[in-house]
Every structure is written in C-alpha cells, then in structure tokens.
Chains A and B, each alone.
Chain A
Amino acid sequence: MPRISIEDLKKIKEEQKGKMVLRGGSHRAKVTVHMGTCGIAAGAREVMNVFRELIAEKGIQDVILTNSGCAGLCAKEPMITVEVVDLAPVKYVQVDKEKARKIFEEHVLGGRVLEDYALAIGSETMAV
C-alpha cells in the first residue's frame, strides 16, 4: 500500500461508501425483489441479477438491492417494489430482464414512474 495524503483519505472514504450505505447509511433508492418460491419460479433471480449487474456496471453506491418474500399476487410474479426516497413506493408486476433495465434507468435513477409496468403506487395497509 502506498503512503497516502489527506485527499486519499477522502477518496478511500468515498470508495467504501457503497459498503457503508448498506449498514445504515443514507441511500437514495431501495429495490426489493419479491423472491418467494413463486417469484423464483417465474424468474425473479434473473431480475435480481440484472439489477446487480447494472449497479456494479455503473458503480452506483447509494442504491440498496434487497429481497423479500412472496408479495401475495403469485400470478403476476416476478414482482418488485421500488422505493425512491421521498416518493411513494411503486410495485411492478411481471418484470422481465428488459423491463428491469428500463425500470432501473427511468425510475430508480430518474425518479419517473413507469406506469405501464406498475401494479399500484403506495404500499398496502397493514391490519393491526
């Protein structure tokens, strides 16, 4: 390892940011791929991989990609939920690789909801 300067300190901090965002830092968007058995059978894994590749390719650090269980609408899997900070969460249905790329560009990075692919805007209310 070379000797570092004060600028390097900042650079290292910047480079490590992606890792740290996961551990409770601030993020700009969160993509949840619903990966119950139904989702995986319908191709959720491929969708997940598309997001992973895009994030790695572009070196994006403040987008969280996570998975959750079956969203309940198994007929329309694979489903994903996109939550851009300060915007209502949006559920997309029957996502394939192509749609996933578009959603990433337009909604996750651009903040524009793709209404054609969306199931609903907002989250379900929970019975307490």
Chain B
Amino acid sequence: MCASPYYRLQIMMCAGTGCIASGSLDVRQAFERELTKRNLQNEVQIVMTGCNGFCAMGPLVVVYPDGVFYNQVKPEHVPLIVEEHILKGRVLEKLLFKDEKAKGRVPLMKDIGFFGLQRLIVLRNRGLIDAENIDEYIARDGYAGLAKALTEMTPEQVIEEVKTSGLRGRGGGGFPTGLKWEECRRYDNFPKYTICNGDEGDPGAFMDRSVMEGDPHSVLEGMAISGYGIGAEQGYIYVRAEYPLAIQRLQKAIEDARSYGLLGRNILGKGFDFDIAIAPGAGAFVCGESTALMYSIEGRRGMPRIKPPRSAEAGLWNQPTNLNNVETFANLNPIILNGGEWFASIGTENSKGTKVFALTGAVTNVGLVEVPMGTTLSSLIFDIGGGIPKKRKFKAAQIGGPSGGCIPLGMEDVEIDYESLQGVGAMMGSGGVVVMDEMTCMVDTARFFTNFSVDESCGKCTPCREGLKVMFDKLTDIVEGRGQEGDVEFLIELGHHINNTSHCGLGKSAANPVLSTIRYFRDEYDAHIRDKHCPALVCPDLIDFEVIEEKCKMCGMCFKNCPSNAIVWEKKKVAWIDKSKCTRCRTCIMNCKFGAIR
C-alpha cells in the first residue's frame, strides 16, 4: 500500500486569533473526528494557517486544490462538508461567501473582491503555510533571502539593495530603512543589536500580531538579514504580553530555526553568528517609542529620552542599535530575493511597496488587507472593505490610531502614501483604519482617542501629561452639554501647544485626533456647544428624545424595544416618549429605521 500517505486534498483552517475566537479549534476537532470516521485521515490533511485576513467571516476554511472558500463554518457544518465536498466533490453552496454586489455566492477565493484586489508581499504566505512548520516556510522560498545575502552579497551590498528598494519604516514614522541601517553600520562599537518592534498598541490595529502569528519566520529572517547588514549578532523581538499566541509561535519558530542552524553560530556554514530572544512587554503604549522600548528591554521604566544620541549610535545598553517594525522585517526576504528595483517598481514616487492595513469599524469586511502604496482610501474601504453595512453612509476614516487623524467624506480619494496622508492631516501610522458611518459622533470619537492618550501618557512631559487631561475634560464638558463659546478655539490652541512642546512621538501627535476632527467637523462641535444637540445622536445628554411626527411611520419598533417602558404607542398612532421614564439609553434610536427620533 502507500509508502507515505499521499494527501490529495488539504483543508486550510485559519488559526489566527480572530478565527480561534470565533471557534476554529472546535471546527478543526470536528473535521478530525469526521475524517477518521470516514477513514479519510490519510487522504485529507488539515493545515492550521496564520490569519487569513478576512476576520469578519471567520472561522474560515479553504479547501485545496480547488481553492473553495467557506466562511463562518461551525462544527455542525463539518459532517456535511466532508460528505458533500470531500467525499462527493460537490461544493456546499450555503457556506460560500455571499457577495452583496454580485448578489451571488462566490466559491473561489481568488474571485472574492476582498482578496482579488490585494497585493501580497508581507502577507505572501498567509493562509498558505502552517505557521508552526519551518519546512513549509522554506518551501515558499523562506530563508532563501538570508542564504542569498550570506553567499552572494557583502553587508554593504545588502544595505545598498534595501536603499534601492525605497523601503520605509512601516511602524508609522516612515524613515528609510536602508539609511537607518547604513548609519548603524558606521559605528564600530560592539556588540550591536537589531530589535523588532512588535509593540503594536493602536486601538483597532492588529497587522503585526497577524504577521508574528501567521508567518513568524519571515520576521526572524528579516532580522537576521538586518543583523548581517549592520553587523549585529543579537536580536530582540519586543512583543506585548497581550499577544500570547504570537509569543508562543515566535518561540517555536526561534527554536526550529536554531535547530536548523538558521539562527545561532555559523549560520548556513557561512561564518555569520546571529541569535534572537523575545522580550515581552507589559503593554504600555509609550514602549512602542524607540528609546522607551529599549529602556524597557533593559528592565528600566519605559520613558522616552532626548535624542541625540540616536539609537543607531547609542541605543540598547548604549550600544549601536537598529530598530524596525514587524512589517518592515517581513518585507526583506522578497526584497533580497527579487532585488530592490523590483520592490521600487511598486507604489508611488516616495512610498514604495505595499502596506498592510487593519480595517475595522463600520465596514462590511473587517479584516487584514495588503495593498500597493498609492491605492485610494475609497478603494480600500469600498472595493476591498465592501463598503458600509446597514446601508448607512460613509462619514470619515480614522487612520494612524491615536496619533493620526480623520479623513472625511469628500476626501476619500486621497492616495495612501506617507506624504499624501500627512497632507490631509492624518498619518500612515502602523496601519489601523477605523471606518466611521453617519451614526458616529466626531466629538465623541476625538474624546475616545484623547482618553486613550491620557491613559498612555508616560508623564515625563507636562504638556502631554497635564495638557491632554485638560483637553479631555474640555471635551467631556462639550459632550455633556456644558460647552461654551470659545471652547473650540481653546482646544485648537492647547492642541498646538501639546504637539509643539512634547518630547516624543506620542505627545507630538496626541492632539491630532482633536485637531483633525475640528478641522473637518467644526459644525459638529458648534452644534454640541451652541444648540446643545448631538447631530449623530450619540451623546445621550445632547439628545432631545422626542419623536419627529412627520417622520414617524407608527411601526412601534421603539415601543417594542424600549427597556424602560418609556414609549407610549398604539397601532396607527405616532409614538410619544415619556421623559419621566426615559433613561436615555438610545435603544429607540438604534431601532428606528426612519430616523424619527431626535
């Protein structure tokens, strides 16, 4: 009989954090049980992959060789999939992805707009390899970039190649990676270090987590290449302790790479020594800042320090140190293998390659996407993201997390690159995109991000520590109806002060959410302050809780859903809200389809 089992079919199951949360491990068990029951365990292989990106539709299952894409698979669907698809070759219609635009079910992964419009460099292996199997990474040209660098290139040539590629830091700053390396190489103090910044802290951002979980070796390989380039023998991955799966998979990857001799002494027999350790962080946002991060690794309190000296000269333990983001490292294998010019051919004039974005908020296809630089924001939200759910209208997109800004309706054609985004008052940031619809109050949003920055301020500089708190209190006054004429001007002035006089990147950009929402949504601030009314009906103190008679269709949905019986309604009569009973919970507003409550 068979020498070794020949798997004619592979079931790729997403084992990213998103799909695990929606139950992919139970589905896996169900598959194992069902395959054994039908004696197919030597014919069909189950592969657990990293995040596939389409988190909104999880748990995801892709069946190869056909590439049939099933979404929202539950354990109870499994017997049917095995019987119909695996045994009889019939695709199971009801679990296919339903495309709202095409009004039909789409069986093949490549035909789904969400996947079809992406260009994968960083996420090249997503959904295609078992994240915990080093051989599968190698099969997809893994470590071939490192091998090429060690055999065919000098460290200087490696740096030159990265400079040619035009790769810029993917953590948000956008500093050219090649220049950073070159500077670090110039100093001859030894030891030197290269650090991977996996301290992803922006609300709604999960790009780095997915890369570390789904393709950990691509990060290790990038770090080894950078170590060779700058002349470092030790690397650290700084990853927050809130990412246990990422830590676990990175740890396994490091051990596997060591046992293959791809980390450690005399790598691939080429005389290059390099090893990596994981440094778990406690989750302080400020530790994503380079100098604070290095203090944290040293075991000291994570607070930014004054530069110069720059980290390249005196970083970790005062030694020359290079720090890059997870995504930056994941770009290096393809750059070395295909050449810097290939990479530079993708993207715009000043921003090369691709960028990974985490799409969240009011968007149909919540998930992880990778697009070439220069893609428009509208294409990202509407073509890939599938637009705004519940037939609502797009209002704004918040890009760059608490340091970024909002891009409003009417400017969604802005191209995504470092300079264009800065031009409209946002920033690339690490890649979190929070989409907001018309039911979002911009003052409340600004208050949310300011609150985040208040919590995360390290306290070193007064403008950031005290100024943000004052800003937050002022915003609270506005959303609770105590706003006064002149508050907006005060916020603008205070915002500029905070941005201009803080020391680190966090403080320098902490007022951006407030400044950018004032810039584009001044009328909403004015409505809160002058009319004491929240136009988006979000701030409970600024809602009248009155029924607009002309708009009321007398359907009774408000009456049926009100938890405190505050609504008086009879069939064919306009509803009326009894304010003595109303608790301002907004349930009626959420349930009114006609916008008849103000």
Tell me the A residues contacting B by CB distance below 8 Å: 1-6, 9, 12-13, 15-24, 27, 30, 32-37, 40, 48, 51-53, 55-57, 64-69
| Selected A-B contacts with CB under 8 Å, 19 pairs | A1-B260, A4-B260, A13-B139, A13-B141, A16-B139, A19-B10, A20-B136, A34-B89, A35-B87, A36-B89, A36-B90, A40-B87, A52-B2, A64-B8, A64-B65, A66-B9, A66-B66, A66-B89, A67-B88
Enumerate chain B residues within 8 angstroms of A5, measured Cβ to Cβ.
Answer: 268-269
Enumerate chain B residues within 8 angstroms of A57, measured Cβ to Cβ.
Answer: 2-3
- Report Cα–Cα, A64/B89, bound state, in Å: 14
Enumerate chain B residues within 8 angstroms of A15, measured Cβ to Cβ.
Answer: 135, 139
- Report Cα–Cα, A69/B12, bound state, in Å: 22
For chain B residues 27-77, which have a beta carbon within 8 Å of chain A? 43, 45, 64-67
Query: Do residues A19 and B6 form an inter-chain contact, with CB atoms below 8 A?
Result: no
If A1-B259, A9-B147, A68-B89 touch, whether A24 touches B3 (CB-CB below 8 Å) is no
Query: Do residues A56 and B3 form an inter-chain contact, with CB atoms below 8 A?
Result: yes
Query: Do residues A4 and B10 form an inter-chain contact, with CB atoms below 8 A?
Result: no
In the complex, residue of chain B having the shortest beta-carbon distance to the beta carbon of A16: B139
Enumerate chain A residues within 8 angstroms of B256, measured Cβ to Cβ.
Answer: 1
- Report Cα–Cα, A69/B140, bound state, in Å: 32
Q: Mark B122-150, 1 if CB is under 8 A from A, else 0.
A: 00000010000001101111011001000
Query: Do residues A9 and B138 form an inter-chain contact, with CB atoms below 8 A?
Result: yes
Query: Do residues B8 and A52 form an inter-chain contact, with CB atoms below 8 A?
Result: yes
- Report Cα–Cα, A68/B2, bound state, in Å: 23
Tell whether B490 is near chain A: CB-to-CB under 8 Å.
no
- Report Cα–Cα, A34/B90, bound state, in Å: 10
Query: Do residues A19 and B136 form an inter-chain contact, with CB atoms below 8 A?
Result: yes
Enumerate chain A residues within 8 angstroms of B151, measured Cβ to Cβ.
Answer: 6
The 6 closest A-B pairs by CB, nearest first: A3-B261, A16-B139, A68-B89, A56-B6, A67-B89, A65-B8
Tell whether B594 is near chain A: CB-to-CB under 8 Å.
no
Q: Mark B87-109, 1 if CB is under 8 A from A, else 0.
A: 11110000000000000000000
Query: Do residues A22 and B260 form an inter-chain contact, with CB atoms below 8 A?
Result: no
In the complex, residue of chain A having the shortest beta-carbon distance to the beta carbon of B151: A6
Q: Mark B471-492, 1 if CB is under 8 A from A, else 0.
A: 0000000000000000000000
Query: Do residues B268 and A6 form an inter-chain contact, with CB atoms below 8 A?
Result: yes
Query: Do residues A23 and B88 form an inter-chain contact, with CB atoms below 8 A?
Result: no
Q: Most chain-B Cβ atoms within 10 A of its Cβ — which of A4, A19, A35?
A: A19
Query: Do residues A12 and B89 form an inter-chain contact, with CB atoms below 8 A?
Result: no
- Report Cα–Cα, A80/B352, bound state, in Å: 48
- Report Cα–Cα, A56/B4, bound state, in Å: 7
- Report Cα–Cα, A57/B86, bound state, in Å: 23
Residue in contact with A16 in the complex, picked from B3, B67, B138, CB distance below 8 Å: B138
If A6-B151, A55-B6, A56-B4 touch, whether A22 touches B139 (CB-CB below 8 Å) is no
Query: Do residues B89 and A35 form an inter-chain contact, with CB atoms below 8 A?
Result: yes
In the complex, residue of chain A having the shortest beta-carbon distance to the beta carbon of B144: A9
Q: Most chain-A Cβ atoms within 10 A of its Cβ — which of B3, B65, B135, B260?
A: B65
- Report Cα–Cα, A18/B89, bound state, in Å: 21
Residue in contact with B65 in the complex, picked from A6, A22, A35, A36, CB distance below 8 Å: A22
If A5-B269, A68-B89 touch, whether A13 touches B3 (CB-CB below 8 Å) is no
Rounded to whole Å, the gap between the CB of B62 and the closest CB of chain A is 9
- Report Cα–Cα, A48/B268, bound state, in Å: 42
- Report Cα–Cα, A64/B8, bound state, in Å: 7
